[in-house]
Amino acid sequence: MKAVGLVVEYNPFHNGHLYHAQTAKRQTGCDIAVAVMSGHFLQRGEPAVVSKWARTKMALQSGVDLVIELPYLYAVQKAEIFARGSVSLLNKLGCEALFFGSEHGDIEPFLQTAKLIDEQKLTFDERIKEELKKGASYPAAAAIAFSSILHTENALDLSKPNNILGYHYVTSILSGSYPMKPYTTARVSSDYHDADLPESENHIASATGIRKAMIEQNLEACLRFLPAASGRELAHYRKSFGLWHTLESYFSYLKYSLSTVTAQELQQIYEVEEGLEHRILRSIRNASSYQEFMKLLKTKRYTWTRLQRMNTHILTRTKKQDMHKLLDDEEAPYIRLLGMTKKGQAYLSQKKKTLSVPLVSKLSSFSHPALDLDIKASRIYSLPIEEPRRTEFDLQEYGHTPIRYDEDEECFLSI
């Protein structure tokens, strides 16, 4: 069996993701779709709207065969580290292809750009430093550096979020010399950040628009943009735990956390840089909501996303020295299995003996500092859930075994 790797968040799993999974298998000729999925906190520093277990169930019912967790170590990171960890995990599971959506939709410019920037790395890095000194954010500086090097007619637009991620997926494959072929397809219909649901008959909307409608209206407003399985799992999660997880859900915990640290202690937190600790402590005293705090904190130097990630690291008390030590390893230290179909289980059985890192199916069977960080992040994620359901959630996280789905009988199996 051949496997294609997908790097995902499924926040939540919608019709665009269904199209992506189906197209990945069809275009690559692979039998198995392996999704490496962010856990409870995501690349932009946001909490997932529902748990990783609920999102795994959505994926397994909609064409994904294996779901593994992207550790917090890589998930709440800038694109380069996010991609490196994701591609490393997919390579360890023997994926022969990597398939991603992009604004460009053609793989050749990604390969050409990666080669060109590698050849002109010194020039590229120097230009980034120049723009940073002028006060630009890192993404803005990188975009300017890219444009100064890329002069081809079919140049890749590296100001677009999915093009940026795709570029880093390709460079991760090339730098790791992985036997994995990259493929891309153009994103369909909705742009990545579209905040509103389309009014046309098109049944594809952005995850941003779906989440906004879920939170501001209700789940029913989004159902035509979701596979039936996603609608069921979302409704079940809301009924079970009584909420959607949003950034505002965590504001009181963030405010408490910042009320218990000194500037010197805050300076040790990952991504708190260049005296930003003083601005953070000053801003939190004057903010009555997460949005207000972010507006007080925002500067030209730091993107909104970078600050959201930093706030999540504050919540999890993730220190620079610990994160840097973990990131010294070029590749992921373990594979945590979240769920599998029967076909996915058969594929995994073939690969088990050749895995170069431990396959974790129970937390009690393995320990690692990066896994400790995942567990801590899950506990933080559960804080807005009211008791006794919060304790139930935490116990479930520690004792949860991989979800098994029988795609032939269309039912979940107990272990």
* 16 in a known ligand binding site: yes
* 119 in a known ligand binding site: no
* 11 in a known ligand binding site: yes
* 13 in a known ligand binding site: yes
* 162 in a known ligand binding site: yes
Compute the distance between CA of residue 221 and CA of residue 224 in angstroms, rounded to an integer. 8
Distance linking the first and last C-alpha atoms of the chain = 24
* 19 in a known ligand binding site: yes
Question: Are residues 52 and 119 in contact, defined by beta-carbon separation less than 8 angstroms?
Answer: no
- In terms of Cβ atoms closer than 10 Å to its own Cβ (0-12, 13-18, 19+), residue 311 is buried
* 12 in a known ligand binding site: yes
* 313 in a known ligand binding site: no
* 253 in a known ligand binding site: no
* 8 in a known ligand binding site: yes
Residue 323 φ/ψ region, left for φ over 0, alpha for ψ in the -120 to 50 degree band, beta for the rest: alpha
| CB-CB neighbours of 116 under 10 Å | 18
* 85 in a known ligand binding site: no
Compute the distance between CA of residue 48 and CA of residue 75 in angstroms, rounded to an integer. 12
* 101 in a known ligand binding site: yes
What tokens were used for 309? Answer: 């990630």
Indicate the annotated binding residues. 7-20, 101, 162, 187
Indicate the annotated binding residues for ATP. 7-20, 101, 162, 187
